């Protein structure tokens, strides 16, 4: 990669670390917060779900802003705002205040994601995008890996409020670094020929009409929605599962709590490498395998009884779960109309975050009503299997669409806020 590409990947990687540090700190602090604020599992699930609601409703507007103004100003503004709201979470002492803060926090983090993918799509060629997404996106594994011991250490020294006061600081520093280092929006995005993987859904002026009538787009949205049910069920409830069901003291577990997330980072790099090489034309199939593998691993996780086996199978699940992220980025950007990359990613992420919003609430309800985590695990596993089926359908539709198709010629350069001619 050229030097500017390496810089972009590094800055996006740091963005994802800070994003997920600020996003999942509440999961590790959750048991202490629930005790201090007298919150039950269902109420805490509502707090976690508020983030997903905010994240979902901002996706398409966030994508429009990235397409209109370029990714840099959107990313810098979002990081600054979500850091303020991370700090504000520590000031909230009622369930209403927590839900409100987490809702707006979700909107600020959510608006940054279409810009993240717009930056990847504008900077990298199709064959590079899966690997670039996996490297930059591996911060979603390193963030929780950093959060677990950091938050546990803070909780051992102080109250839960200081978790949010202190974890807000890296975001303020990163916003300044992004402003100074991230390249300015380019005049246009590089156009490219359609490859054997199926090509964009549309290149003409009726892009949205073509998107909304595309089976591939809807299967991708459904697959990402079901993925997020599993993903946020995993991130939001696994710490509480270890504490409440397996009676683990997270403070004593220390760095051991980071093992699944570090394995997730390894899974992302493996998935990104496969999605850019031997599986580049079968990314949908690769993602389907990852979702099915996660479901099986979580089933075994609940069945084993020792702490070592539980952590081991949570780690295996993380390899499969996180391994999907890089191929997803490559696949979605392959399908995205060039001038609507940000908006298309916002469309798909809207579905994804509907799943992210309902998952913690439904899992919390199932745990409360059943008095055990079995029903919650079953719900997550079922969603992962639905995701596997949807991604497999995208792969089959791509394979059918590529038969006998003549590659299209590159279109003209498309600048931010401009339409293709």
pTM of the model: 0.75
Higher pLDDT, 3 or 64: 64
Q: What's the pLDDT tens digit per position in 107-128?
A: 999 999 999 999 898 888 888 8
Higher pLDDT, 289 or 418: 289
Environment class of 303 (CB within 10 Å of its CB; exposed 0-12, middle 13-18, buried 19+): exposed
182-196, 265-279, 319-333, 393-407, range with the lowest pLDDT? 182-196
Give the pLDDT of residue 186: 58
- Indicate whether 318 pLDDT > 90: yes
- Indicate whether 253 pLDDT > 50: yes
Give the pLDDT of residue 245: 77
Domains located in the chain, CATH noted: 3-186+197-402 (1.20.1250.20)
Listed residue (13, 3, 301, 329) closest to 141, CA to CA: 13
Structure tokens at 214: 């595309």
Structure tokens at 403: 């038969």
Q: What is the mean pLDDT of the chain?
A: 84
Give the pLDDT of residue 407: 40
Task: Calculate what percentage of the chain has a pLDDT beyond 70.
Answer: 87
Give the pLDDT of residue 409: 39
87-96, 191-200, 376-385, range with the lowest pLDDT? 191-200
Higher pLDDT, 276 or 247: 276
Spatial contact of 267 and 318, defined as CB atoms under 8 Å apart? yes
- Indicate whether 412 pLDDT > 60: no
Give the pLDDT of residue 196: 40
Q: What's the pLDDT tens digit per position in 70-88?
A: 899 999 999 999 999 999 9
Give the pLDDT of residue 88: 94
Listed residue (141, 132, 198) closest to 330, CA to CA: 132
Q: What's the pLDDT tens digit per position in 161-195?
A: 999 999 999 999 999 999 998 877 654 444 443 34
Q: What is the mean pLDDT of residues 383-407?
A: 80
- Indicate whether 12 pLDDT > 90: yes
DSSP labels, 76-144:
HHHHHHHHHHHHHHTT--SHHHHHHHHHHHHHHHHHHHHHHHHHHHHHS-HHHHHHHHHHHHTHHHHHH
Q: What's the pLDDT tens digit per position in 85-111?
A: 999 999 998 999 999 999 999 999 999
d(CA 366, CA 281): 39
Higher pLDDT, 410 or 299: 299
d(CA 63, CA 137): 18
Listed residue (326, 298, 306, 311) closest to 384, CA to CA: 298
């Amino acid at each position: 990669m050229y030097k500017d590409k390496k810089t972009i990947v590094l800055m996006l990687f740091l963005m994802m670390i800070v994003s997920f540090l600020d996003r999942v700190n509440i999961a590790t602090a959750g048991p202490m917060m629930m005790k201090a604020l007298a919150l039950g599992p269902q109420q805490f699930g509502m707090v976690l779900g508020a983030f997903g609601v905010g994240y979902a409703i901002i996706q398409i507007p966030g994508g429009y802003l990235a397409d209109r103004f370029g990714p840099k100003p959107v990313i810098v503004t979002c990081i600054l705002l979500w850091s303020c709201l991370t700090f504000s979470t520590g000031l909230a002492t009622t369930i209403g205040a927590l839900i409100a803060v987490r809702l707006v926090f979700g909107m600020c983090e959510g608006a940054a994601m279409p810009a993240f993918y717009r930056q990847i799509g504008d900077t990298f060629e199709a064959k590079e995008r899966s690997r670039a997404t996996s490297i930059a996106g591996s911060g979603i594994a390193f963030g929780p890996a950093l959060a677990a011991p950091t938050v546990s250490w803070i909780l051992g020294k102080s109250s839960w409020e200081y978790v949010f006061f202190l974890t807000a600081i890296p975001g303020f520093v990163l916003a300044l670094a992004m402003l100074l280092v991230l390249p300015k929006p380019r005049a246009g995005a590089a156009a490219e020929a359609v490859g054997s993987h199926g090509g964009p859904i549309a290149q003409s002026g009726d892009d949205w009409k073509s998107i909304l009538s595309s089976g591939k787009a809807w299967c991708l949205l459904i697959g990402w929605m079901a993925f997020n049910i599993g993903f946020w069920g995993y991130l939001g409830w696994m710490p509480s599962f270890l504490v409440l069901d397996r009676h683990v003291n997270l403070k004593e577990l220390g760095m051991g709590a980071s093992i699944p997330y570090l394995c997730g980072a390894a899974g992302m790099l493996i998935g990104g490498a496969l999605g850019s090489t031997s599986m580049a034309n079968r990314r949908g199939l690769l993602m389907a395998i990852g979702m099915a593998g996660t479901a099986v691993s979580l089933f075994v996780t609940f069945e084993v009884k020792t702490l070592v086996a539980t952590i081991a199978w949570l780690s295996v699940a993380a390899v499969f779960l996180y391994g999907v992220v890089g191929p997803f980025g490559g696949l979605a950007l392959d399908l995205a109309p060039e001038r609507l990359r940000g908006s298309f990613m916002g469309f798909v992420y809207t579905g994804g975050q509907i799943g992210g919003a309902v998952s913690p609430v439904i899992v919390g309800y199932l745990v409360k009503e059943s008095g055990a985590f079995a029903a919650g695990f079953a719900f997550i596993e079922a969603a992962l299997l639905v995701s596997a089926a949807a991604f497999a359908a995208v792969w089959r539709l791509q394979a059918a669409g590529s038969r006998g198709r003549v590659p299209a010629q590159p279109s003209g350069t498309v600048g931010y806020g401009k339409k293709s001619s």
